[in-house]
Amino acid sequence: MSAKVVLSCSECKSRNYSTTKTKGIHAERLQMKKHCKTCGKHTTHVETK
């Protein structure tokens, strides 16, 4: 079963992206390198609650 998650920038804390993940396989928080529109650079985006 997939669940919707929201990714927020680790530097400015703005919520930029939404994606899905399978909860059974990926129990830890999702981290991805994405471009932040607010910061204007590539940063690590972390899954929020």
Helices (H), the chain: none
Give the SS3 label for residue 49: coil
For the chain, how long is the longest CA-to-CA vector? 34
* pLDDT bracket for residue 1 (50, 70, 90): confident
The model's pLDDT over 15-48, given as tens digits with 9 standing for 90+, comes to: 999 999 988 887 889 999 999 999 999 999 999 9
Asked: is 2-47 a CATH 2.60.40.1930 domain? The reply is: no
> Residue 11: what pLDDT?
95
Sign of dihedral through CA atoms 13, 17, 18, 21? negative
Delimit the domains of the chain by residue range.
2-47
